[in-house]
Structure 1
Amino acid sequence: MASAIRNALESAVAMSHDESPVSKLAGSKPARICVAGSGAIGGTLAARLALAGHDVSVIARGATLEAIRSSGLRLVDTTAVNATPVRADVRAAERAEFGVQDIVFVSVKAHGLQDMLPQLAPLIGERTSVVPTINGLPWWYFQGEGGRFDGEAVHAVDPDGALLRALPWRRVVGCVVYIAAHVTEPGLVVTTNANRLILGEPDHQLSPRVTALCWYLERAGIKAEATARIRDAIWIKLMANLATNPLSVVTGGTLSQLHSDEGTRAIIRTIMQETLSVGRAYGVQPVVDIEQLLAQGLKLGAFKTSMLQDFEKGQPLELAGIGDAVVELAARADIPIPATRQLLALARFRSRHEPSPVQSNV
């Protein structure tokens, strides 16, 4: 199946990302945009872009699909003066029935990418820009980066290279997402922060299509930043995700609780230090101060991490991209990260075992 998808997309590889129609469309007419995935992040993006006047379609399933078809996609922005649901009219289907798109946002969990692949091919033409909004190290991480592992796969997230074969990396725009949102009921998304995305080409270029994507997002009420060093941005968020998401599963704590407790705060600091050491071994130069990140964590409030939300719903956890990929890169560079390995082991154990009932000997 992956080979068939690859054949459908093969011609895209030869196209320069500077030739994308996205850059030519900016400022002229609405873009054709599909959001594959209708959870908190996908729902936020789809609603805001539709409200900005774009031709937006959504791939959804089950109750969410039914809700969008009957009542539209609804968005509540708690940072707005009038925090009431706003309806965004989007097309919705379980499969990709929308034709070739200018932009495809892939907003499924990282472990759901391979299941989504068969649906992406009909959406992607020779000049379509694909923007995965996933957490952790992406499958395309070593593509176009020019280092000693250039062209290789990240086996923790793409063990057999299927993602690399199915989605040519030159069609991909790297993306780091800072959107705090949750789904309160099918078709209703609540955002609780100022939405922000960082976008960049895998090959370090500041391309016209990235500039155009930022233009679209800004006019949809989403702060967007273009960068020539997208991997720096990936590692900065990864430091926070790896230090807090698995820990939240183990403890059940919110972000404010984890950052305010002296014991868990020390664990977070250690994981951040280990993660940063791995990133630097691969040439990452993030402008980041760990103490500053810790201070920012105190301001996040009683917010549950996405991994804790998934755990409470009985859904798979994003441990591969957020954790296992870092362990893989650490092993390649012979960097010990004992605290990180132990935390991931605890989170994985917690995800597999429900607490046993307490039995009294009295």
Structure 2
Amino acid sequence: MRICIFGAGASGGHFAVKLANAGHAVSVVARGPHLAAIRSSGLTLKLKDRVMQASVAATDDPATLGPQDAVIVTVKATGLAAVADNIAPLIGPETVVVFPQNGMSWWYPLALPADKPAPPRVPVFALADRFLPHMTIAQIAGGIIYSANEVEAPGVIKNNSPARNRLDFGPIDGRAPGVFAPLRDAFTSSGLEAPEIDDIRQTVWHKLLITASGSTISLATRNKAAISKTDPALGGVYIRIVRELLAVAAAHGYPLARELDPDKMLQGLLDHKPSLLQDYEQGRPMEIGEMVVSLIDFARAADIAVPTYDALAAITARLAIDKGLYSPA
């Protein structure tokens, strides 16, 4: 397959190396020193037991690549507006476009099942007006990444989750997930997990509850996610947050209590810096709106009290605002 990774940073770079080594025609859209390093020396992926390398077509101008079979947009939510302005040359009538961002995604209200409550007005939803001129709803797949990676140096990706590297993706319009089988097969052939997902919105809520609980505590304390597992007081905060957010998800039509056990989630926290903390420390724009504040909006829309999460969300938002990495507007 011709596959473009739009934003070959941590997870995107990981996917690019694996897919290229499986024989797919992989290209990446990147920028700055990372782009220069990829052009010069290719991409390097450091795994627990080995190092993989790949030579891929790399550019900061998607117009040089032409239409693809699949485009995987792995930029953070804060970079989606720039993607909307530049993605058109990559899209043909049969192109599949996967959006695996953390947090509440821009496509969530599109083709929302009639039995689900109308969502609140979240700023990221406005991006639909910028993406839909270039693709149809039928071409869009929502996605969620389960893979802990970091850019160790320009062109070098380090993987911190050797036992779990997965992309869950599925159509946003309720069709059977088999419509994206060729891309799923491409991932499987590269050694990455890509299970069929019947309801991508439920998957989004599932990941959002995992990231919002651990990541907000990690950011507020400037510790790796596992701090909630080793500090009993923070562990109690973590448990209360998960329970509050489970109530929010259920109010919006996605009951997840059978899937997400707060105590098991706590024990499964990784000794890894979540992306929110990585961005804060490195002075990069932060996904506070999509990963943190959006859940407050959904809670208020459903009249669900989330006192523990509300307090922590306000603290983490303030940290980002004071550093100029997030604007509530």
State which of 245, 251, 263 in structure 2 corresponds to 1:291: 263
Q: CA, structure 1 residues 160+92, in 2 after alignment: closer, same or farther (shift >3 Å)?
A: closer
Query: Post-superposition shift, 1:207?
Result: 3.3
Structure 2 residue aligned with 1:349: 318
Partner of residue 182, structure 2: 212
Instruction: Give, in angstroms, the shift of residue 90 of structure 1.
Output: 0.5
Q: CA deviation at 1:197?
A: 1.7
Gaps of 5+ in 1: 1-30, 355-362
Contact kept? 2:106, 2:127, Cα under 8 Å: no
Q: Which protein shows a greater Rg?
A: 1
Taking the aligned partners of 1:103 and 1:154, their CA distance within structure 2 comes to 30
- Percent of paired sites with the same residue: 32
Moved more, 306-315 or 234-243: 234-243
Aligned: 1:313 with 2:282: yes
Which residue does 2:305 correspond to in 1?
Answer: 336
1:160, 1:256 → 2: CA distance? 34
* CA RMSD, Structure 1 to Structure 2 (Å): 1.9
Counterpart secondary structure, 1:189: strand
- SS of the residue corresponding to residue 226 of structure 1 reads coil
| Deviation of the 1:98 alpha carbon | 0.5
Counting only pairs closer than 5 Å after superposition, residues 56-205 of structure 1 correspond to structure 2 as 56-78=26-48, 80=49, 83-84=50-51, 86-96=52-62, 97-147=64-114, 154-159=121-126, 161-163=128-130, 165-166=132-133, 167-193=135-161, 194-205=164-175
Partner of 1:327: 296
Tell me the amino acid that sits aligned with residue 295 of structure 1. Q
Shift of 1:263: 1.1
Q: CA contact under 8 A between 1:157 and 1:325: conserved in structure 2?
A: no
* Aligned residue type for 1:311: Y
Q: Which range moved further: 224-233 or 197-206?
A: 197-206
**Cα shift at 1:129:** 0.5
| Contact kept in structure 2, 1:156 and 1:324, CA below 8 Å | no
Counterpart for residue 326 of structure 2:
none
Q: CA separation in 2, counterparts of 1:184 and 1:234?
A: 27
Whole-Å separation in 2 of the counterparts to 1:235 and 1:198: 13
Deviation at 1:210, TM superposition (A): 2.6
| Unpaired stretches in structure 2, ≥5 consecutive residues | 324-329
Q: Tell me by how many angstroms 1:337 deviates.
A: 1.7
Q: Which moved more, 1:323-332 or 1:155-164?
A: 155-164
Instruction: State the alpha-carbon separation in 2 of the partners of residues 159 and 272 from structure 1.
Output: 28
Counterpart residue number, 1:255: 225
- Alignment check: 8 A CA contact 2:143 2:168 kept: yes
Match of 1:5 in 2: none
The residue aligned with 2:14 is 44
Contact 1:33/1:102, CA 8 A, preserved across alignment: yes
Question: In the TM superposition, what whole-angstrom CA distance separates every residue of 1:231-259 from its partner, at most 9, and x where no partner exists?
Answer: 22211211111112122111011112222
| Residue aligned with 2:124, SS | coil
Structure 2 CA distance for partners of 1:210 and 1:290, relative to 1, 3 Å: farther
Structure 2 vs 1, CA of residues 89 and 154 (structure 1 numbering), >3 Å: closer, same or farther? farther
Aligned-residue offset at 1:65: 0.9
Distance 1:153 1:121 in 2: 29
Q: Hey, what's the Cα distance between the residues in 1 that align with 2:299 and 2:82?
A: 28
